[in-house]
């Protein structure tokens, strides 16, 4: 059973269905002229795959939406409006994403914030949402958005090429300077490759083999034989859970039970990945030799404790909180929702075309600004007439002129109980230098 459908059904996620619902129609044209007199809940559209092979990513993004909106609503909402999460299924396929997102823009009442818009579909979905004047807190890693001019685009996660460079920085730190690079043939995985190659050159790491594999093949034995022959000290790898399990199982069988360490992305910090890979090659390998590298946040800040508590409190998220609270994209989405809600308060409007420009104001380190770590604290400070600087789970945020913020990186490993623990931090400055 698909993990999302088994534990977090779409109906449970928001209590509504997008198609044929009674949410009320709001056309794109009307959206740009609405005033703050609108009534009803503010809809946070979670644009992500909720069906198809990448459905677990919808779970990763639905969970922080639940946690953030629960805390916002507990604090009284924004100008009398509660927040609710609405799934918009992009299926991980651009052909399905365009009509589904277009329909949501046209039919979802008070669709005033979007999160997600992941790499597989961002090239087609971001323009749709941007044209509708809906602020976007995206988790996509497309390098094309490093210098975007889309006004409503905001990214608190690194681009894919930066992740690739971080993979190699971690491998080099451990002395693994002969790598086999194997990526599944999809835009999210292969987007890491430019950073991998740039960093490998500067780190004097030998790329023994650079291969792309199809998803969910019945066998990868011919590819595995080539990789074994290349004698890598590390696998730099990115693929879906079942493809990874098949590849590693055949590698073990063809190499006398021996497997090199693997560096992969934090997107793989899911129960499906743990279950598939541990079944194929054992729990010891997945907990001791697979290192998941991605964006970093501190687990000792006031914002983190609020985030973690919310995750373990909400009945829809507490079963997966142990994994979710170690992964960068969900934390960034959680912070992004809080930032947008505070920007609405600062702007005295919930309309995207009005509050969008206030997003930088509520995170800026301006003179006299009160540092706040939660929506409730920020709301109270704004009500008292103070300027604020929101510092959430990912820490202080400083958007560049393209509305991008990358931050630091970290390596994480699974624990036997399927939770995860951070084992290393990789400097964002080092990653930038490797890409420069």
Taking only the tens place, the pLDDT of each residue in 382-397 is 999 999 999 999 899 9
Q: DSSP states of 56-97 as a string?
A: HHHHHHHHHHHHHHHHHHHTT-BTTB-EEEEEEE-TT-HHHH
For 54-63, 101-110, 160-169, 252-261, which range has the lowest pLDDT when averaged over its residues?
Answer: 54-63
Cβ neighbours around 95 below 10 Å, total: 9
pLDDT in tens, 401-411: 999 998 889 99
End-to-end CA distance of the chain: 44
Looking at 54-58, 235-239, 404-408, which range is the least confident one?
Answer: 54-58
On average, the pLDDT of the chain sits at: 88
What is the band of 1 on the pLDDT scale with cuts at 50, 70, 90? Answer: very low
Architecture per CATH, domain 3-158+303-390, reads as: 3-Layer(aba) Sandwich (3.40)
- Lowest mean pLDDT: which of 12-26, 238-252, 296-310? 12-26
**What is the per-residue pLDDT for 4?**
31
Token pair in block for residue 16: 């509504």
Architecture of domain 160-297+408-435: 3-Layer(aba) Sandwich (3.40)
| Rounded mean pLDDT, 421-433 | 89
Model pLDDT for residues 160-183, shown as the tens digit of each residue:
899 999 999 999 999 999 999 999
pLDDT at position 322 is: 76
Domain range summary for the chain, segments of one domain joined by +: 3-158+303-390, 160-297+408-435
CB atoms within 10 A of CB 94: 15
Residue 109 pLDDT: 95
Give pLDDT, residue 329.
Answer: 80
CB of 352 closer than 8 Å to CB of 152: yes
Q: What is the mean pLDDT of residues 113-119?
A: 93
From 273, 263, 197, 200, select the one nearest 234 (Cα to Cα): 263
**pLDDT score of 38:** 67
Percent of the chain at pLDDT > 90 equals 71
Cβ(294)–Cβ(266) under 8 Å? yes
Per-residue confidence (pLDDT) for residue 187, from 0 to 100: 78
d(CA 346, CA 355): 8
Give the model's pLDDT for residue 324.
Answer: 76
Decide if pLDDT at 10 tops 70: no
pLDDT at residue 8, as a whole number:
33
Q: Which helix (H) or strand (E) holds 183?
A: strand 178-184
Rounded percentage of the chain residues whose pLDDT exceeds 70: 91
Mean pLDDT, residues 126-146: 94
Matching CATH topology for 3-158+303-390 and 160-297+408-435? yes
Q: Evaluate if pTM is beyond 0.85.
A: no
Mean pLDDT value of segment 304-332: 84
The reported pLDDT for the residue numbered 108 is 96
């Amino acid at each position: 059973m698909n993990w999302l459908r088994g534990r977090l059904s779409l109906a449970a996620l928001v209590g509504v269905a997008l198609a044929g619902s009674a949410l009320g129609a709001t056309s794109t044209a009307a959206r740009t002229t609405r005033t703050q007199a609108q009534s009803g809940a503010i809809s946070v559209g979670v644009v992500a795959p909720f069906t198809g092979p990448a459905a677990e990513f919808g779970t990763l993004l639905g969970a922080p939406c639940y946690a953030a909106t629960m805390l916002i609503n507990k604090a009284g909402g924004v100008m009398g409006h509660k927040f609710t999460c609405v799934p918009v299924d992009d299926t991980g396929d651009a052909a399905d994403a365009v009509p589904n997102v277009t329909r949501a823009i046209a039919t979802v009442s008070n669709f005033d914030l979007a999160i997600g818009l992941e790499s597989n579909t961002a090239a087609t979905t971001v323009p749709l949402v941007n044209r509708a004047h809906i602020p976007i807190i995206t988790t996509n890693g497309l390098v094309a958005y490093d210098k975007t001019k889309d006004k409503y685009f905001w990214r608190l996660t690194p681009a894919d090429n930066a992740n690739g460079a971080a993979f190699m920085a971690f491998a080099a730190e451990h002395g693994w300077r002969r790598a086999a690079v194997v990526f599944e043939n999809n835009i999210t995985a292969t987007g890491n490759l430019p950073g991998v190659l740039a960093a490998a050159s500067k780190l004097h790491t030998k790329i023994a083999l650079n291969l792309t594999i199809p998803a969910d093949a019945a066998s990868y034995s011919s590819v595995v034989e080539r990789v074994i022959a290349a004698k890598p000290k590390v696998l730099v790898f990115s693929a879906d859970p079942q493809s990874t399990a098949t590849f590693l199982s055949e590698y073990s069988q063809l190499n006398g039970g021996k497997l090199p360490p693997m560096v992969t992305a934090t997107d793989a910090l899911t129960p499906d990945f743990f279950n598939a890979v541990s079944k194929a090659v054992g729990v010891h390998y997945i907990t001791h030799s697979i290192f998941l590298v991605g964006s970093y946040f501190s687990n000792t800040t006031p914002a983190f404790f609020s985030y973690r508590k919310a995750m373990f409190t909400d009945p829809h998220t507490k079963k997966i909180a142990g994994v979710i609270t170690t992964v960068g994209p969900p934390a960034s989405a959680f912070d992004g929702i809080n930032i947008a809600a505070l920007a609405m308060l600062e702007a005295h409007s919930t309309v995207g075309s009005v509050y969008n420009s206030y997003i930088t104001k509520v995170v800026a380190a301006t003179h006299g600004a009160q540092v706040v770590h939660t929506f409730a604290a920020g709301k109270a400070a704004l009500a008292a007439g103070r300027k604020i600087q929101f510092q959430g789970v990912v820490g202080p945020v400083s958007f560049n002129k393209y509305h991008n913020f990358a931050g630091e990186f970290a390596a994480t490993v699974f624990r036997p109980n399927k939770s995860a623990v951070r084992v290393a931090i990789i400097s964002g400055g080092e990653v930038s230098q490797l890409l420069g």
